[in-house]
Chain A
Amino acid sequence: MTPLFLTAALVLATGLFAVGLFGLMIRRGILFQIIALEIMLTGPALAFVAAGAHHGDPGGQGMFIFVLVLAASEVALGLALYLRLGRHADVSDSDTVNLLRR
């Protein structure tokens, strides 16, 4: 049996992305959807770090830093939008704002 560490890591990364995508589709609360987006981003992060460890290359961890920056920006803007929606229109649900107007 061949040891396939990178293949197992890529399967896990795909699984994390799929779990996040599934959560994004089954939830309608905006907070839960932002959480699911975060989980989706951890999949590529794991893939980058595992590939960097496989090749002994620092680029994997470097790309992980960029994924982290992206996640932080997305959470900041998403939560600010959520707060504003909740304050002005009493909305916590993404279905009620899908027309971009009231």
Chain B
Amino acid sequence: MGLSGAFAIWAGALGLVAMALAITRPNVVHALIWVVAGLISLAAGFFALGAGFAGAVQILIYAGAIIAVFIFVVMTIDSGDAALARERVRLGKGWKLPLVLVLAVLAPVALSLPGGGLDGAPVAVPAQRLGALLFGPWAVAVEVASAMLIAALLGARHLARREGGQ
């Protein structure tokens, strides 16, 4: 698989561990910090795969902008000791059935993994080719994606607005 592929797998494994830690933290700020760690590990994996544009976008937009929105919302709530204790109690008791369900979903995937024919080193794809794809054959899809972003923007503004007189 080559050195870069091995590094990508190692970085992705680190990201997986960080994400697993993120979903088990009772404190939402700690969970967000682990999510950022996982996203940056995945971005390192993207760089090692030769997908430099995806890695940069992962750091700038995912870990930068989207998590920053989370931080803003977390700052508006008061997560006191009561909420922390409640999350701890819930984390301790309700995990067995979901674990069984997730493993049941994963079992057929693990059995159907291809055993061969997928070897080879990752091939670097420069951002120029990505741009030629996005602004050429995929231009309509990019327009639809931008329309979805505007719809989400309007929806979020409508949902989160303060009603006058209350």
* CB pair A62 B19 closer than 8 Å: no
A52, B2: Cα distance in complex, Å: 17
* CB pair B159 A60 closer than 8 Å: no
Chain B residues lying within 8 Å of A77, measured Cβ to Cβ, are 152, 155-156, 159
Chain B contact residues, majority secondary structure: helix
* CB pair A62 B23 closer than 8 Å: no
Check B116 for interface membership: any CB of A closer than 8 A: yes
For A11-52 the 0/1 string (1 means CB < 8 A from B) is: 110111011111101111101101110110010011001101
| With A5-B121, A18-B105: A79-B156 Cβ-Cβ less than 8 Å | yes
A-B pair number, CB within 8 angstroms = 227
- Total interface residues on B, CB under 8 Å, equals 88
**Contact with A35, one of B5, B23, B116 (Cβ below 8 angstroms):** B23
Chain A contact residues, majority secondary structure: helix
A56, B51: Cα distance in complex, Å: 10
Chain A residues lying within 8 Å of B12, measured Cβ to Cβ, are 9, 12, 46
Give the size range of A's interface with the partner: 35 or more
| With A5-B8, A39-B19: A72-B54 Cβ-Cβ less than 8 Å | no
* CB pair A56 B116 closer than 8 Å: no
CB proximity of A102 to chain B, nearest CB, Å:
17
Check B65 for interface membership: any CB of A closer than 8 A: yes
Chain A residues lying within 8 Å of B91, measured Cβ to Cβ, are 26-27
* CB pair B149 A72 closer than 8 Å: yes
10 closest Cβ pairs, A-B complex: A23-B23, A56-B123, A73-B152, A25-B98, A5-B1, A3-B1, A5-B5, A53-B122, A80-B159, A80-B156
With A3-B5, A42-B42, A79-B70 already in contact, 14 other A-B pairs whose C-beta atoms are closer than 8 Å: A3-B119, A4-B119, A5-B118, A12-B15, A20-B19, A23-B24, A28-B90, A31-B28, A42-B19, A46-B42, A49-B51, A59-B133, A64-B57, A92-B83
